[in-house]
Amino acid sequence: MRIDGTVAVVTGAERGLGAALARVLARRGARVVASGLAREPLEQLCATIEGDGGRALALPCDVRDQTQITALVTEVDRLCGRIDLLVNNAGVTAGGDIRLLAEADWEGVLQVNLLGSARMVRAVLPGMLARRQGTILNVASAAGLAAPALWIPYAASKFALVGFSEGLHAALRPHGILVSVACPMWVETDMLTSVIPKLADPPLPKAAAARAPRGWAWLTSHVPGRHMAPETAAQRMVRGIERERFMIYTHRTTHLVVVARALAPELFARLWQRVNEFDERRHRQPPLR
């Protein structure tokens, strides 16, 4: 896919990975429509893009609301003539002890991460089918390939998004529409730190709990690309759609996870259990000083 000259809609573009995707696409020559819940950060992003010589337009939209989505697509068609690229980046997370998660926790995540993407696809698809061309990038997660125990609603939504993307890819490619799904691992955004999982008592034994943060720190410090900047992840995603790849991995480590799970599922399950134990223990501890 050639990015230059396209019209690209990016959801969840207020900050983090969405903002980085908007900037990278603009530098590649796309006219970017930055969408999200809050107008002010979207307008600031667009001002930055235009200051760097790009073209951008801020149009707020809540992907939980089909009426707002329809209005967004109608306005983009009016102002830009078409939508060539849809980037479904909007996402939220929730997690904790599965017994403490209410129905609202599940609904909140699924409404945005899965159904929001499905609504956006439904809205842009008639125009793409009429032109027999277009590209859709769904931003899933490595959690959509291996589910963390503390983030089951988030992982479930991302597993579903990967499956949704696979079905779309098969259904739409004969019609000239390309579908990709990106599965980033650790990217330095506020999603990593802004949501605290709900944890139940009792606390872990002191000896194990004391080792947990240091064990997790050691584990994550040995994962290549663990502190990836949003800009780097965005560049790799855009390069993936330029090369018309279906599955886009931003981190090489994700390849290892996929291969290990396929070749040695029982060993992977035992190792994954240890990773999840470290993850829970670190959340029970105050930050190391």
What does the pLDDT read at residue 257?
Answer: 86
Q: For the segment 37-73, what is each residue's pLDDT rounded down to a tens digit?
A: 999 999 999 999 999 999 999 999 999 999 999 999 9
Q: For the segment 205-233, what is each residue's pLDDT rounded down to a tens digit?
A: 554 444 545 555 555 555 555 579 999 99
Give residues with Cβ within 8 angstroms of 19, minimum separation 6: 13, 34, 41, 45, 230
Give percent of the chain with pLDDT exceeding 90: 67
Model confidence band, residue 252 (pLDDT cutoffs 50, 70, 90): confident
Q: For the segment 116-174, what is each residue's pLDDT rounded down to a tens digit?
A: 999 999 999 999 999 999 999 999 999 999 998 889 999 999 999 999 999 999 999 99
- Are the beta carbons of 138 and 179 closer than 8 angstroms? yes
Model confidence band, residue 9 (pLDDT cutoffs 50, 70, 90): very high
Question: CA-to-CA distance for 75 and 209, rounded, in angstroms?
Answer: 54
φ/ψ (deg, to 5) at 34 = -90, 120
Of 15, 60, 154, 238, which is the active-site residue? Answer: 154
Domains detected in the chain = 7-198+226-251 (3.40.50.720)
What does the pLDDT read at residue 50?
Answer: 97
What does the pLDDT read at residue 155?
Answer: 95
Q: The tokens of 204 are what? A: 């872990």
204: Cα within 13 Å, side-chain hemisphere: 17
pLDDT at 269 over 90: no
pLDDT at 284 over 70: no
Helix residue ranges per DSSP H, 28-116: 39-51, 66-80, 103-110
Q: For the segment 75-89, what is each residue's pLDDT rounded down to a tens digit?
A: 999 999 999 999 999
- Radius of gyration over every alpha carbon of the chain, rounded to an integer in angstroms: 20
249 among known catalytic residues: no
pLDDT higher at 194 or 163? 163
DSSP lists the bridge partners of residue 187 as 228
Task: List the end-to-end C-alpha distance of the chain, in Å, as a whole number.
Answer: 47
Mean pLDDT of 241-264: 91
Quote the distance between the C-alpha of residue 28 and its chain's center.
21
- Are the beta carbons of 139 and 184 closer than 8 angstroms? yes
Question: CA-to-CA distance for 69 and 200, rounded, in angstroms?
Answer: 38
What does the pLDDT read at residue 71?
Answer: 98
Characterise 55 by phi-psi region: left (phi > 0), alpha (psi -120 to 50), beta (else). Answer: beta
What does the pLDDT read at residue 235?
Answer: 97
| DSSP run (H or E) holding 237 | helix 230-242
